[in-house]
Amino acid sequence: MCHVMKCVVAFVVACLLAACSMGSDLGEDERGLLLTEQEFRDFGVELAPARSGRFHKTMTYAGQGVELSYEQSGAGDFYLINSFNRHFTAQSSLGDATGWELGFVLGRQLSDLERTPIELTHRYGEGARLYLLTLHGRPIGNMFSFWDGRKTYMALFTGVYFQDPDLFDAFIRDKVARMQAYEPPSVLAYFHGLTGSE
């Protein structure tokens, strides 16, 4: 994926964070919600050796929401960015999904990256979209998003791609089920963990 598109997607992710927020380390359960290069390897994809990517967690106090993300850009041609958000309201989750769509449109204007919708055979939450990404007519990756009430998830990866929706379902469905079951700790519980208060 071109450097400009990576920058655009990263910019959109950053803009989706609320102004009043705090970063935090992810627990093992939270890391398990996100795709990493290991899931691709476990699925039979051969990737170049690389250092682990970067996890990030942001809790927003005003919105009482949480964003979990992971990015990997050092495994040869493989690039991955994905973000899971649990919002305070369903309206804010719609805005999140719209932000990613806008980011892709902006990226298309700065590169030759195109997307073609792939019809999913399995329903995820209230809705989902899967696209095949192509560059100069050559498949290079996928873009996937789903939303379910206050939860949204977006993933973009290159260097590997799916064209068969059933194969993609086998790859992603367990992650989606984990995300649908996830509920973040309350803000008070978060501060309790930071301070160690009784």
Q: For residue range 13-45, list pLDDT tens digits in order.
A: 454 444 344 445 788 899 999 999 999 999 999
pLDDT of residue 154: 93
pLDDT of residue 118: 97
In a domain, 99, yes or no: yes
Distance CA 30, CA 87 (A): 15
CA distances from 99 to 23, 28, 145, 152, 191 (A): 21, 28, 12, 12, 29
Strand partners, 84: 68, 153
Distance CA 144, CA 155 (A): 5
Instruction: Please say whether the beta carbons of 120 and 133 come within 8 A.
Output: no
In a domain, 57, yes or no: no
pLDDT of residue 49: 83
In a domain, 55, yes or no: no
In a domain, 36, yes or no: no
Task: Please name the amino acid found at residue 84.
Answer: F
pTM summary value: 0.74
Model pLDDT for residues 95-140, shown as the tens digit of each residue: 555 455 545 444 544 467 888 999 999 888 888 999 999 988 999 9
Range of the domain at 168: 1-12+70-185
Distance CA 61, CA 63 (A): 6
Lowest mean pLDDT among 89-103, 132-146, 165-179: 89-103
Instruction: Please say whether the beta carbons of 8 and 103 come within 8 A.
Output: yes
User: Residue 4, exposed/middle/buried by CB under 10 A (0-12, 13-18, 19+)?
Assistant: middle
In a domain, 40, yes or no: no
Alpha helices in 51-134 (DSSP H): 90-110
pLDDT of residue 1: 53
Q: How confident is the model at residue 172 (pLDDT cuts 50, 70, 90)?
A: very high
- DSSP class of residue 32 equals T
Q: How confident is the model at residue 88 (pLDDT cuts 50, 70, 90)?
A: low
pLDDT of residue 16: 46
CB atoms within 10 A of CB 63: 17
CA distances from 28 to 124, 171, 173 (A): 24, 20, 19
Distance CA 147, CA 103 (A): 17
Residue count (the chain): 198
pLDDT of residue 17: 44
End-to-end CA distance of the chain: 49
In a domain, 156, yes or no: yes
Distance CA 161, CA 77 (A): 12
On the CB side of 62, CA atoms within 13 Å amount to 6
Q: How confident is the model at residue 184 (pLDDT cuts 50, 70, 90)?
A: confident
User: For the chain, what is the domain count?
Assistant: 1
Phi, psi of 157 (to 5 degrees): -145, 150
